[in-house]
Copies of this chain bind each other. A is one copy, B any other.
Amino acid sequence: MFLKQGVPMGKILLAHGSGGKLTHELIKEVFHKRFSNPVLAEYTDSAILDYKEPLAFTTDSFVVNPLFFPGGDIGTLAVCGTINDLTMVGAEAQYLALSMIIEEGTDISLIERIATSIASVARINKVRVVTGDTKVVEKGACDKVFINTSGVGVLVAKKKPSVKNIRCGDKILLTGCLANHGLAVLSARQGLGLKGEIKSDCAALQGLLLPLLKKTDAVRFLRDPTRGGAATTLNEVAESTGLALNIREDALPIASKVRAATELFGIDPLYIANEGIALLIVAQESEPEALRFLRQHPLGRRACSIGTVSKEPKSKVILETSLGTKRIVEMLSHDMLPRIC
């Protein structure tokens, strides 16, 4: 591959982004080969989606640094993140649009590894990459590879989860442990050499959550606490609803090596980005059933209740510490950890 005369082997050239021969070769050999499906095979400027239902539509750019980290890479992150954005509104992901901005001089093998990740996660989750775009910028004009994935899905939830449904007394659940993704990326970036490598839990959550959303209308609200961490998601809810979200420090699910690392570095796990968990707010009476349901799934084994919605203090997130004291959890106001997704 890419052995043509005059073309250096295995490196991205500006010409790979020129729209000409090399662009075609790159798209065909690196992308179409991996994402092959009839919609994509039409080679049209837009994919045609045949739908008779309300749809969900989302977009996300991924700029994670480093591109590869324990438990995933920018490709898995892009597909999972976009599927999750659809899941969070109660939609089943169907189609992805993939756009890559690549730095001149990047190894083509690296693009292939990423494309392979994308194809593999897409296949497992039964979503199809149906359209795409590739740009190449000069050396130094971007940091290796940025990916944008947009997604279209079909609404399947019995009732669309929405912040508007949240009521006093509702229970706050997490589907899994906090902070794994952010710490995995941080440790890969800084070469922290944490004992017992922390892996990103980066995963598409539709298999875990959509069956619950199809079965019951108990899920009032659903969000994946990515950038800004759980603290930011909780604050968003508190601000939108005017209600208080009370969480118990003791109840927060944190893996022991993650807890050790956050203590070592003095980072609050509530502010660290997650990519494989969701925060649910459910009706009080549905809590036991929701937890039972989630725990049956491999991605929900550590599902737990972390707190309760109350009326006062208005628009605040309150943490009850292990010592029994209470403190306000503010929204993240600085750059905790950039380039995390």
Report which of B53, B95, B148 forms a contact with A99, defined as CB distance below 8 A: B148
- 0/1 per residue, A114-139, Cβ < 8 Å to B? 00000000000000001111011110
Cβ of A195 under 8 Å from chain B: no
Residue of B nearest to A50 (CB): B54
CA of A99 to CA of B153, assembled, Å: 18
Judging by beta carbons under 8 Å apart, are B339 and A137 in contact? yes
A77 CB, nearest partner CB in chain B, Å: 12
Find A51's partner among B24, B54, B146, B224 (CB 8 Å cutoff). Answer: B54
Q: Assuming the A-B contacts A142-B146, A331-B20, A334-B18, are A57 and B61 also in contact, with contact meaning beta carbons closer than 8 angstroms in the complex?
A: no
A313 within 8 A of B: no
A243 interfacial contact with B, CB 8 Å: no
Q: Does A88 contact B (CB under 8 A)?
A: yes
From A225-233, A244-252, A256-264, A302-310, the one touching the partner chain is: A225-233
Q: Does A59 touch B at the CB level, under 8 Å?
A: yes
Total number of A residues with any Cβ neighbor in B under 8 Å:
87
Question: Interface readout for A37-51 with B: 1 if CB under 8 Å, 0 if not?
Answer: 000001111111111
Q: In the complex, which residues of chain B have a beta carbon less than 8 angstroms from the beta carbon of A18?
A: 227-228, 332, 334-338
Chain A interface (Cβ < 8 Å from any Cβ of B)? 13-15, 17-24, 42-63, 65, 84-86, 88-89, 91, 95, 97-101, 130-133, 135-138, 140-143, 146, 148, 150-153, 155, 160, 162-163, 223-224, 226-229, 232, 236, 240, 273, 331-339
Closest to A226 in B: B19
Select which of B58, B59, B88, B137 is within 8 A of A143 by beta carbon.
Answer: B137
